[in-house]
A and B are shown apart, each in its own frame.
Chain A
Amino acid sequence: MLFARPHLLGLEGLTAEEIDFLLDSAESFKEVSEREIKKVPALRGRTVVNLFYEASTRTRTSFEIAAKRLSADTINLSASASSAAKGETLTDTARNLAAMRPDAIVVRHPSSGAPDLLARHVDCPIINAGDGAHEHPTQALLDLLTIRERKGRIAGLTVAIVGDVLHSRVARSNLFGLLTMGAKVRFVGPPTLVPPGFSELGAEIVWDLHEGLKDVDVVMMLRIQRERMNGRYFSSLDEYSRLYCLSADAVARARKDVIILHPGPMNRGVEISSTVADGPYSVIMDQVTNGVAVRMAVLYVLVGRRKAGAEQGEGAVPIALAEASPRRAATGE
């Protein structure tokens, strides 16, 4: 088994082989989404709980579709519907959920480390769907998959991640994943949002957008949270936009075949100009498609093999489905 971990709490610490394995599995699952009947019985009879303490239609929907295409039953618990409002602790919620014997819990939480806490209290796989400013591993996996498809490789590429890195779990997961896969990572943004300490984690820090995009293969835009542009981290959204809006000019500094990733939804005219957003570099739709495939792969690898382990004995946990389907060519369309 190339991925023997019980949970997916983050990309930090995963090996290149493990990440490759997840990406390969995801590539295989893409085929399922292109079938007329987009469903395989891989997780039939399994229950996946989506435990969301933060609103996120996009990620939750993507996980839900992924689980359904694997024939798993899904239950969505959102913070308002769960006991959080009544003051139940995360630990108690975890114990209660565990008593219902789910096969996986997908968790989104505003506190960094909440999935680690859950993992200590339940014995089913925990999949981190975004915790505070920590990690969002499936988002980074889908970004990695998109890059790999478009560029044919990840190693040796230079990736600029632009925006509010300090508060971004997407930036951290991508940093860990990209470095492990042999890419170079440049964080671009003002010092309040890109503190120099990130260089200790292996990123190159650049404050100037034009300089930061020089010769990059990939630009990854982070979403700007308007509430942070309140005069503490930066004077105003206008000021931010003046320095960091991704214009055609700035993009011209990058490599000709640059691709632009964005976790969406975009603030047009603020962080990205419409010319660029609608230009030929954008791979946003690939990201959405790959999101479902990556989450199918993660669910299958973490949940499916438990069943296989129980029924087929030690070690033998073939990704039968993955191996049976033809590998997609790793090229762009």
Chain B
Amino acid sequence: MSERTAPSAGRSEPPLLVAGGTLVDPVAKRTRRADLLVRDGVIAAIEAGISEQLPRRGASTIHRIDATGLLVMPGFVDIHVHLREPGFEYKETIATGTRSAVAGGVTSVACMANTRPVNDSPAVTRFILERAHAAALAKVFPIGAVSLGLAGEQLAPFAGMFDSGIVAVSDDGHPVMDAELMRRALECAKMFGMPVIDHAEDRALVAGGVMHEGAVSLRLGLRGIPAAAEDVMVARDIALAGLTGGHLHVAHISSAGSVRMVRMARAAGIRITTEVSPHHLWLTDEAVTAYRTNAKMAPPLRTEGDRQALLEGLADGTIDCIATDHAPHHKDEKDVEFDCAANGVVGLETMLPLVLRLVEDGVLDLPTAIAKISSEPAAVLGLPVGTLEVGRAADLAIVDPAREWKVDSAEMFSKSKNTPFEGWTMRGRSVLTMVDGRTVHDDRAPQPVRGAAEREVRP
């Protein structure tokens, strides 16, 4: 796929040097000490000791960022985000959502089509891109609807939306119940090299359920959703992917059965990719206890057995990437009876430390864990982001892996506060986030005054 983000012409900013940090390369799967030079918003060089060579290269003014003790990573790529604009600006806007993203080190988001109006037309796609451009924070890649109005009846105009900039199609939140329509979507999306993103839940089996069906739902007297509701849809869509040769991407995979089937399908050569959400990796249905509506989402939090299967799937590569399913909701939509509460949680600002926990727990090594939120999701959608490569846009997350902080929803940048991780102590934070070499989030601790030679200059 061609570069979608050309460096802006006529930029006359001085080059920027990120010096002394440890680079995490998700493609080469390694870490190394090196400096990184950014020129005109693009990574111009990655080498150890650029700082010493610079004067010889004749750069007059250089902005220098001291990354000593920090990890320099590609900005993260979250391919499952609900930005809510247009239509639900009281929950989130493209500006607040992308502000939340960059606070979490996320420099690219793909946003779902369930806005109002639905993103089922080139006009809505263009509107989203215009708003994203105006916000000038994270890069936004719109996802178009599979069906007009998400109604599951008629295909949306894939060609027109593709020309306007969509990168995938999905009726996320509204499972495509009509198997024939799903088949046709896979066939048509294939022409554009786009995946169909599958919210795999059989509505007949969901049957009004509000949480995972199991001992906890029985204890709480809440209507359950069996894991089979996801399994049967994943099974169906694997068959359809096989039939059509289309690219199926299973969103927020949550059940052990689905992971098993995807593993088998991939072994059989079927084109299927998957993502898992941090909340499904770290929480189980026990989190619903006391009717906590911030533990309500679709698909629901499942059992410890499912969680272990997700971790295994992540480790053996069955699950390609991690995506937050960032789903902002107003307090009034959550502070209600559990039955009535909206589905979904915010996730952009808590993703990184939850992924770093996978490293701490020995599930993944650091470069692989970071690949799951950078190069891998970018590859799923074919986005030209998520790597540390000379010539690529300088989208960076400079991370302090030791920074401890407590989740306090009141301090979040998202307009909505519906996090299930409230009060958790997290370790790791993006202290400096850059998009095209421009600082879009700066959370560096105040530095002690040092000698002039070491002084940092903020770009």
Q: Is A111 an interface residue (CB 8 A)?
A: yes
Q: Name B302-348 residues within 8 Å CB distance of A.
A: 332, 335-340
**Is A112 in contact with B215, judged by CB distance below 8 angstroms?**
no
Q: Is B291 an interface residue (CB 8 A)?
A: yes
- Which residues of A lie under 8 Å from residue B291 when comparing CB positions? 112-113, 116-117
- Which residues of B lie under 8 Å from residue A89 when comparing CB positions? 332, 335-336
Q: Is B179 an interface residue (CB 8 A)?
A: no
Which of the listed residues B213, B217, B339 has the most CB atoms from chain A within 10 Å of its own CB?
A: B339
| Contacts A111-B337, A117-B291 given; does A197 touch B221 at CB 8 Å | no
Q: What is the minimal beta-carbon distance from A163 to any residue of chain B, in angstroms?
A: 15
Alpha-carbon gap, A169 to B220, bound state (A): 10
Q: Inter-chain contact count A-B, CB under 8 Å?
A: 61
Q: Name B208-233 residues within 8 Å CB distance of A.
A: 213-215, 217-223
Which of the listed residues A91, A112, A132 has the most CB atoms from chain B within 10 Å of its own CB?
A: A112
Chain B residue nearest to A165 in the complex (CB): B218
Q: Is B290 an interface residue (CB 8 A)?
A: yes
Q: Name B263-292 residues within 8 Å CB distance of A.
A: 290-291
Chain A residue nearest to B223 in the complex (CB): A133
Alpha-carbon gap, A84 to B15, bound state (A): 62
| Contacts A112-B291, A113-B222, A134-B220 given; does A200 touch B215 at CB 8 Å | yes
- Which residues of A lie under 8 Å from residue B335 when comparing CB positions? 89, 91, 117
Alpha-carbon gap, A91 to B336, bound state (A): 7
Chain B residue nearest to A167 in the complex (CB): B221
**Is A132 in contact with B219, judged by CB distance below 8 angstroms?**
no
- Which residues of A lie under 8 Å from residue B218 when comparing CB positions? 166, 195, 197-198, 200-201
| Contacts A89-B332, A112-B220, A133-B221 given; does A197 touch B338 at CB 8 Å | no
Q: What is the minimal beta-carbon distance from B291 to any residue of chain A, in angstroms?
A: 3
Q: Is A164 an interface residue (CB 8 A)?
A: no
- Which residues of A lie under 8 Å from residue B221 when comparing CB positions? 112, 131-135, 169, 172
| Contacts A89-B336, A91-B335 given; does A113 touch B220 at CB 8 Å | yes
Q: Is A124 an interface residue (CB 8 A)?
A: no
- Which residues of A lie under 8 Å from residue B336 when comparing CB positions? 89-91, 117
Q: What is the minimal beta-carbon distance from B170 to any residue of chain A, in angstroms?
A: 31
**Is A112 in contact with B222, judged by CB distance below 8 angstroms?**
yes
**Is B213 in contact with A116, judged by CB distance below 8 angstroms?**
no
Alpha-carbon gap, A134 to B335, bound state (A): 19
Chain A residue nearest to B210 in the complex (CB): A112
Q: What is the minimal beta-carbon distance from B316 to any residue of chain A, in angstroms?
A: 29
Chain B residue nearest to A200 in the complex (CB): B215
Q: What is the minimal beta-carbon distance from B287 to any residue of chain A, in angstroms?
A: 14
- Which residues of A lie under 8 Å from residue B332 when comparing CB positions? 89
**Is A109 in contact with B337, judged by CB distance below 8 angstroms?**
yes
Against A, the Cβ 8 Å flags (1 = close, 0 = not) of B74-116 are 0000000000000000000000000000000000000000000
Alpha-carbon gap, A169 to B332, bound state (A): 27
The number of residues on chain B lying at the interface, defined by a beta carbon within 8 Å of a beta carbon of chain A, is 19
Q: Is A12 an interface residue (CB 8 A)?
A: yes
Which of the listed residues A111, A116, A198 has the most CB atoms from chain B within 10 Å of its own CB?
A: A111
Alpha-carbon gap, A82 to B89, bound state (A): 32
Q: Is A114 an interface residue (CB 8 A)?
A: yes
The number of residues on chain A lying at the interface, defined by a beta carbon within 8 Å of a beta carbon of chain B, is 24
**Is B340 in contact with A111, judged by CB distance below 8 angstroms?**
yes
**Is A90 in contact with B219, judged by CB distance below 8 angstroms?**
no
Alpha-carbon gap, A133 to B337, bound state (A): 13
Q: What is the minimal beta-carbon distance from A274 to any residue of chain B, in angstroms?
A: 32
Alpha-carbon gap, A116 to B290, bound state (A): 7
Alpha-carbon gap, A111 to B341, bound state (A): 11
Alpha-carbon gap, A68 to B110, bound state (A): 61
| Contacts A112-B291, A172-B221 given; does A117 touch B215 at CB 8 Å | no
Which of the listed residues A131, A166, A197 has the most CB atoms from chain B within 10 Å of its own CB?
A: A197
Alpha-carbon gap, A208 to B228, bound state (A): 27
Alpha-carbon gap, A12 to B222, bound state (A): 15
Chain B residue nearest to A169 in the complex (CB): B221
Residue from B213, B214, B215, B338 within 8 A of A113 (CB atoms): B338
Which of the listed residues B218, B290, B332, B340 has the most CB atoms from chain A within 10 Å of its own CB?
A: B218
Q: Name A121-168 residues within 8 Å CB distance of B.
A: 131-135, 166
Alpha-carbon gap, A134 to B218, bound state (A): 8
Q: What is the minimal beta-carbon distance from B218 to any residue of chain A, in angstroms?
A: 5
Against B, the Cβ 8 Å flags (1 = close, 0 = not) of A68-101 are 0000000000000000000001110000000000
Against B, the Cβ 8 Å flags (1 = close, 0 = not) of A1-29 are 00000000000100000000000000000
**Is B339 in contact with A12, judged by CB distance below 8 angstroms?**
no
Alpha-carbon gap, A302 to B220, bound state (A): 23
Alpha-carbon gap, A200 to B286, bound state (A): 14
Q: Name B430-456 residues within 8 Å CB distance of A.
A: none
- Which residues of A lie under 8 Å from residue B222 when comparing CB positions? 112-113, 132-134
Alpha-carbon gap, A201 to B332, bound state (A): 33
Alpha-carbon gap, A197 to B216, bound state (A): 9
Alpha-carbon gap, A201 to B215, bound state (A): 7
- Which residues of B lie under 8 Å from residue A117 when comparing CB positions? 291, 335-338
Q: What is the minimal beta-carbon distance from B193 to any residue of chain A, in angstroms?
A: 44
Chain A residue nearest to B336 in the complex (CB): A89
**Is B215 in contact with A111, judged by CB distance below 8 angstroms?**
no
Alpha-carbon gap, A200 to B221, bound state (A): 14
- Which residues of A lie under 8 Å from residue B337 when comparing CB positions? 90, 109, 111, 113-114, 117
**Is B219 in contact with A112, judged by CB distance below 8 angstroms?**
no
Alpha-carbon gap, A134 to B221, bound state (A): 4
Q: What is the minimal beta-carbon distance from B135 to any residue of chain A, in angstroms?
A: 32
- Which residues of B lie under 8 Å from residue A169 when comparing CB positions? 221
Which of the listed residues A116, A117, A135, A166 has the most CB atoms from chain B within 10 Å of its own CB?
A: A117
- Which residues of B lie under 8 Å from residue A112 when comparing CB positions? 220-222, 291, 338-339
Against B, the Cβ 8 Å flags (1 = close, 0 = not) of A161-188 are 0000010010010000000000000000
Alpha-carbon gap, A91 to B331, bound state (A): 11
- Which residues of A lie under 8 Å from residue B220 when comparing CB positions? 112-113, 134
**Is A12 in contact with B219, judged by CB distance below 8 angstroms?**
yes
Q: What is the minimal beta-carbon distance from B302 to any residue of chain A, in angstroms?
A: 13
Alpha-carbon gap, A197 to B220, bound state (A): 13
Alpha-carbon gap, A111 to B221, bound state (A): 9
- Which residues of B lie under 8 Å from residue A135 when comparing CB positions? 221
Alpha-carbon gap, A71 to B228, bound state (A): 54
Task: Name 16 A/B residue pairs within 8 A (Cβ), A-sorted.
Answer: A89-B336, A90-B336, A91-B336, A111-B337, A112-B291, A113-B222, A113-B338, A114-B337, A116-B290, A117-B291, A169-B221, A172-B221, A197-B214, A197-B215, A200-B215, A201-B215
Question: 14 extra interchain contacts, Cβ-Cβ under 8 A, other than A91-B336, A113-B338, A197-B213?
Answer: A89-B332, A89-B335, A90-B336, A109-B337, A111-B340, A112-B221, A112-B222, A116-B290, A117-B336, A131-B221, A132-B339, A197-B214, A197-B217, A200-B214
Which 3 A-B pairs rank lowest in CB-CB distance, beginning with the nearest?
A113-B291, A134-B221, A133-B221
